[in-house]
Amino acid sequence: MSEENNNPKPGIKSTEFWLCSLCGVFSILWGSGVIDLGADASGTVNKAAALIAGALAAMGYGVSRGLAKIKK
């Protein structure tokens, strides 16, 4: 029988880290106006939504890593 590894991977090696980082970068670029998604997406509400989505992704990652480390 193989022994089960209960230790979580370092954060930088996890897929969720890279997905969260990618989401955060695109959210910042979209919110700051670097990425333009067309004429309809240039409003203040869309930019605020992009920044909020980035913040929520970062918070979600932090919570999931915290839960992964306390689960034994």
pLDDT of residue 6: 67
Model pLDDT for residues 18-46, shown as the tens digit of each residue: 888 888 888 888 777 787 766 665 677 77
pLDDT of residue 5: 63
pLDDT band for position 1 (cuts 50, 70, 90): very low
What is the average pLDDT value for the chain, to the nearest integer?
75
Question: The tokens of 18 are what?
Answer: 């890279």
pLDDT band for position 72 (cuts 50, 70, 90): low
**pLDDT higher at 8 or 2:** 8
- Report domain extents, the chain: 24-33+43-72
Question: The tokens of 30 are what?
Answer: 């979209």
- Give the span between the Cα atoms of 54 and 20, in whole angstroms: 8
- Give the span between the Cα atoms of 43 and 16, in whole angstroms: 30
Q: Strand, helix or coil at 72?
A: coil
